[in-house]
Structure 1
Amino acid sequence: MLDGYPNFHHVTFSPGRKRALLERGINGMAKVSALGGARRPAIFIRSSPWKAGTEQTPWHDVFDMDNGHVRYFGDHKAGLSMAPGTTTGNATLLDAFDGHQGRTPEARAAATPLLLFRSVSRNGQPKGHVEFCGLGVIERTERLVQWGGSDHTTFVNYVYDIALLDLAVEGDEVAWEWIEARRDETVTDAEAVQLAPTAWREWVKHGISALPRLRRRVARAKVSKVRDQRPKPGSSEHADLELIYKHFDGRKHDFEALASAVAARVLRGSGHSYVEGWLTRRSGDGGADFVGRIDLGSGLAGTNLVVLGQAKCVKLDTLVTAEQIARVVARLRRGWIGVYVTTGAYSEPAQTEMVEDQYPIVLINGSELVRELRAMARDDHGGDLTACIEHILAGQETVITNRRPEEILLE
C-alpha cells in the first residue's frame, strides 16, 4: 500500500519477470513463445481524462461503466509521418483485435486480454493514481479523421469499441495468476484459460455472440432474484404474507390503503419528508391507486414531487412483468415518481428494464411488504399484525376521492 492505496507494481509482481507497466496509454506485454505459438499475456490500457482535448491528446475516450462499453482512441498523433496502424499502440491493439475475432474456442483461448484503467484525481492531484475499470474484448475497430496538433491539422487514427466483461463472480477483480500463467511458456492456452474469470471462459467457449449476456451491466447488480423477493416457505414471514393476501383477496380497494401506508413508511425511512394524500375511487382512477407527495428541501432550495402509487394484491407466486411497470411509468409526468406495491415479486427482466431505462419508480415486493407491516405492528400494536391492518383501514376510510394527482402540490 502507498498512501492508503494498493500499489500497482506490487499487485502485478511476477518473480523473475519484467514489471507490468502503465506508463503509456497502450502497454502491451512482450509476447512469449508458448507451446501453441506466440502469445501476448495481456495489454494494459490507460486513459487519462485530464489530458482529453489537449494538443497531445485531442480525443476523448468514453468509459461507460454502467453498460460495459469503452470507446478508446489509438496512439497516432498529428505530425507523424508513419502509417496510422504502425504506431506501437495501434499495432498492438490491431493484433489483439484479430485474436478477438477468432472463430474457434482454440483461437480465442490464445487471444490477448485487455485490462483497462483510467487516471483518477486523489488528494487534489489529477496524476499518479489509476483505478481498474475491467477486462475487455475488442468488438470493432474504425479508422477516422481527427483534428489535432498546434496547427489543428487533420490526421488519421484508429478508435476501438471494447466490451467490458462482467466480473461480478470474481468481485470485479482479475486474478494475477491468470496473467502469470499466460507469461509461462510451458503453459498451454487451454490450461491458462482455466484460471481466467468466468465471463472470459464463456466468451472463449461461445464467441462474440455471447457478449450481450457477458457484458458488464450495473443493472444486474441492482436486480434481485425472484426467490429473494419472497419469504422463505414455512417461515413466520411467509405465514404473515399469506394472511395479508387472504385478508385482501377480492378487496382491491382495501389493499390500496395498506399499500399507501407501507409506501409512506418506506419513503420516510429513506429520510424523506413524505405526505400521504388520498386513495383514488374504484372507477376512473387513471391508473393510480393512491397519491402522495415527497418534499425535498425548503423555500427556494426545495421542491415537491408527486407520488403516484399502484397496488396489486396477487398470489404470492405471481410475477409482476415489465409491461405492468411500464404502464405505471407511462402515466408519470415530469416531477412525478411512482411506487408499485405488491404481495408478489418482480420478474428479473422487469427490474433490468427499470434500471437500464432509469424509470422513476420504487418497487416494493411481498417480502418487503410483510417486513414493513411487521415492523409497524411491533411498534404500535404489540406485534399484532391483524390489529395493525385494521388500524390502517380505519384511518383511510375518509380519504377516498377522485381529485387530480397534481392537487397534492397545493396542500
Structure 2
Amino acid sequence: MDERTDVDWTDADWRPGSRRLLRVHDELRYAQGATQSERVIDGLPNYHWLMSPDHLKRPKVTLAAGINAPKDLVACDGTRRPVIALRSSPWKAGHETNPWHDEFDLDHGHVRYFGDHKPSTIGLPGATKGDRLLLEAARLHSGTTRAERELAPPIMIFRAITVYRAGRAVVKGHVEFCGVAIIERLEHVVQRDPDTGRSFPNLVLDLAVVSGGELDSVDLRWIDDRRNAGLSTSTALRYAPDTWKRWVREGALAIPRVRRRMLASTVRTAEEQQPVPGSEDAAVLERLYRFFDGRKHAFELLASRVAAEVLRESGATYREGWLSRPSGDGGVDFVGRIDMGSINASTPVVVLGQAKCVAPRTGISPEQVARVVARLRRGWIGVYVTTGSFSKQAQIEIIDDQYPVILIAGGLLAATVVRMAQANYGGDIEELLKSTVDDYGKAITHRRPEEVISI
C-alpha cells in the first residue's frame, strides 16, 4: 500500500467521525465472517470496517454478488439508494456463473460492466435483482434535473485480485478498489455462453470513473452521510468528490471534464502492451502470428475488423470500407469511416488503417507509424494494428505532435479477437481465421480513401 499523509489504517488513535480515504488501486481484505471493528486483516485494510465501521451500527455493504446495494433509505426528504457496489471477478470470466468479460481502463476513466443475467435466467434483463438495481440507477444517472442526479447512487467499483502470501497465490478474499463512477450509457445486448453456445440477453454499462480529490481518493464519510436518514440528499453531498458535485450541478456535459485521466500512463511499456505471459490471450496472440506469418496480407482484413470492433466499443458509429492492394498502398492497408453526430446531424470522418503482423513483442518504430500519419488529411484519423508493441518513442511522438492515430498493440488485438470469436463464431477462433482468409480477396479494391464518405 502507498504511504498516506494523515490517514494510517493501523493508527490506534483513530476516532469515529474521522475521514476514511479509499484510493484507486487500494488492495483490501474481503474476508468471510470478518467483523466491522477490525481495521486490518492479514496486513490489509478490512473492507467491512472501511465501508461500515462498527460505531455506525449499520449493516454491511457486501460484495457477495456482482451487483450489491444496501436497502433503500427513507430519509428526511424522501427515499434514496445510498450506494451500489459492483464486484468484477476476472478469474470467473468465461464460466457459466460469469460468461462475460468486464473491461477496465482506469487510466482513462472507463469501465465496461455487464449485468447479472445468465444463460439460465428466465425473462428479460431486469428479472434479476442486480439488473433491476442497474436499471433504476441508470434512470437517475441520466436525469436531466439536479434533483434526480442528487438521488443517483454512487457506483463503487471493486474487482477481485490474486495476492501472494508466503509464496502462495491466494485467489479469493481480496479486492482492489477501482473508483466511483457515473453510469454514462446502458445498453441491452445479446451474449453467447461460451460453454453451451446459447444466446441470452443482458445489460452492459459504460461507466465513467470520476477523478478523486486528495490522493486520488474518496472520503467514505460521503457514503456514511448517504446512509444517514437524518440528512437530506443535498447535505449528504458535503464529503463527495468535487468532480461528483460538478456532475450533479451540470449533468452529462460535465462528464468529459470530471472523468479520471492519468496522463503519465499514456506511454506504455512493451510488456504492458502484450498479454500476460501464459494467459489465454497470450496463446491467442501467438496463434494469430503463426497463422498469418505466411499470409500477412490477409492479416490486414483481421486488423480492419478488429479496428471496427474497438471503435464501435467506444460508442462510435463505424462503417468498414475496403482493403488497399497488397503493393503500392503508400502506408494505408484498410479504409473505413466514422459518422460523427446524430442520425439527423452527422458528418463522416475518414479512417486510414495500417496493419503489421510481426512476432509478438517486436517493436514498431516511429518511422513505421509515420507512414500512416503522412497520409492523413485534416479531419481524418489513423489506426495502427499490430501483433507487436509500439516503441516508447513512437508513442511519445504521437502524443507530443497530437497526431490523431489510435494504436492497437498485441494485447488489445488478442483480447478483441477473443470477444469477436465468442460473439460471432461460438468461441471458435479457427472459424474466425478461416472466414478472414476466405473474405480477403473480396475486400480488396482500388479506390481513393475519400470515396468511403459516399458509401
* TM-score of Structure 1 vs Structure 2, range by shorter chain: 0.5 to 0.7
For 1:57, the equivalent position in structure 2 comes to 98
Alpha-carbon contact 1:219-1:352 (below 8 Å) kept: no
Q: Which amino acid aligns with 1:32?
A: L
Q: Which amino acid aligns with 2:261?
A: R
SS at match of 1:84: coil
Deviation at residue 172 of structure 1 after TM alignment = 2.4
Q: Which amino acid aligns with 2:50?
A: V
Deviation at residue 107 of structure 1 after TM alignment = 1.7
From 97, 119, 125, give the equivalent of 1:78.
119
For 2:45, the equivalent position in structure 1 comes to 6
Give the direction of change, closer, same or farther, for the CA distance of 1:194–1:338 in structure 2 (3 Å limit).
Answer: same
Q: Which amino acid aligns with 2:224?
A: E
What are the within-5 Å matches in structure 2 for residues 102-113 of structure 1?
Answer: 102-113=143-154
Q: Distance in 1 between matches of 2:245 and 2:122?
A: 40
Deviations 1:94-132 (A, max 9, x none): 100011011122221111100000011101122211010
Q: Which amino acid aligns with 1:112?
A: P
From 197, 207, 220, give the equivalent of 1:152.
197
Deviations 1:360-390 (A, max 9, x none): xxxxxxxxxxxxxxxxxxxxxxxxxxxxxxx
SS at match of 1:29: coil
Q: Distance in 2 between matches of 1:50 and 1:339?
A: 31
Alpha-carbon contact 2:109-2:261 (below 8 Å) kept: yes
Query: Over the residues paired in the alignment, what is the CA RMSD in angstroms?
Result: 3.4
Deviation at residue 353 of structure 1 after TM alignment = 5.1
Give the direction of change, closer, same or farther, for the CA distance of 1:336–1:137 in structure 2 (3 Å limit).
Answer: closer
Deviation at residue 339 of structure 1 after TM alignment = 12
Deviations 1:267-324 (A, max 9, x none): xxxxxxxxxxxxxxxxxxxxxxxxxxxxxxxxxxx9999999xxxxxxxxxxxxxx9x
**Greater helix percent: which structure?**
1
For 1:337, the equivalent position in structure 2 comes to 393
Identity of aligned residues (%): 40
Deviation at residue 152 of structure 1 after TM alignment = 2.7
Q: Which amino acid aligns with 2:155?
A: L
Deviation at residue 198 of structure 1 after TM alignment = 0.9
Give the direction of change, closer, same or farther, for the CA distance of 1:193–1:79 in structure 2 (3 Å limit).
Answer: same
Deviation at residue 182 of structure 1 after TM alignment = 0.7
SS at match of 2:243: helix
Deviation at residue 10 of structure 1 after TM alignment = 1.2
Q: Distance in 1 between matches of 2:247 and 2:44?
A: 32
From 198, 216, 229, give the equivalent of 2:260.
216
Q: Distance in 2 between matches of 1:336 and 1:183?
A: 47
Segments of 5+ residues of structure 2 without an aligned counterpart are 1-39, 268-360, 368-377, 379-389, 408-455
Q: Distance in 2 between matches of 1:339 and 1:177?
A: 40
SS at match of 1:70: strand
From 37, 45, 50, give the equivalent of 2:86.
45
What are the within-5 Å matches in structure 2 for residues 210-289 of structure 1?
Answer: 210-219=254-263
Give the direction of change, closer, same or farther, for the CA distance of 1:36–1:220 in structure 2 (3 Å limit).
Answer: farther
Deviation at residue 357 of structure 1 after TM alignment = 6.9
From 218, 225, 233, give the equivalent of 1:189.
233
Q: Which amino acid aligns with 1:117?
A: F
Give the direction of change, closer, same or farther, for the CA distance of 1:353–1:112 in structure 2 (3 Å limit).
Answer: farther
Deviation at residue 356 of structure 1 after TM alignment = 10
Q: Distance in 2 between matches of 1:52 and 1:204?
A: 34
Alpha-carbon contact 2:73-2:79 (below 8 Å) kept: yes
SS at match of 1:130: strand
Alpha-carbon contact 1:40-1:112 (below 8 Å) kept: yes
Give the direction of change, closer, same or farther, for the CA distance of 1:7–1:356 in structure 2 (3 Å limit).
Answer: farther
Tell whether 2:248 aligns with 1:204: yes
Q: Distance in 2 between matches of 1:93 and 1:144?
A: 14
Look at both structures and tell me which one has the larger radius of gyration over its CA atoms.
1
Deviation at residue 150 of structure 1 after TM alignment = 5.0
Q: Which amino acid aligns with 2:73?
A: V
Give the direction of change, closer, same or farther, for the CA distance of 1:32–1:307 in structure 2 (3 Å limit).
Answer: closer
Give the direction of change, closer, same or farther, for the CA distance of 1:12–1:353 in structure 2 (3 Å limit).
Answer: farther
Deviation at residue 155 of structure 1 after TM alignment = 1.1
For 1:311, the equivalent position in structure 2 comes to none
SS at match of 1:86: coil
Deviation at residue 81 of structure 1 after TM alignment = 1.5
TM-score (norm 2): 0.50
Deviation at residue 149 of structure 1 after TM alignment = 7.4
How many residues are matched? Answer: 250
Give the direction of change, closer, same or farther, for the CA distance of 1:357–1:66 in structure 2 (3 Å limit).
Answer: farther
Segments of 5+ residues of structure 1 without an aligned counterpart are 224-301, 309-322, 324-333, 341-349, 359-411
Q: Distance in 2 between matches of 1:74 and 1:305?
A: 38
Give the direction of change, closer, same or farther, for the CA distance of 1:304–1:113 in structure 2 (3 Å limit).
Answer: closer
Deviation at residue 83 of structure 1 after TM alignment = 2.8
Alpha-carbon contact 1:134-1:172 (below 8 Å) kept: no
Alpha-carbon contact 2:161-2:175 (below 8 Å) kept: yes
Deviations 1:212-261 (A, max 9, x none): 111011117889xxxxxxxxxxxxxxxxxxxxxxxxxxxxxxxxxxxxxx
Q: Distance in 2 between matches of 1:104 and 1:216?
A: 23
TM-score (norm 1): 0.55
Alpha-carbon contact 1:305-1:336 (below 8 Å) kept: no
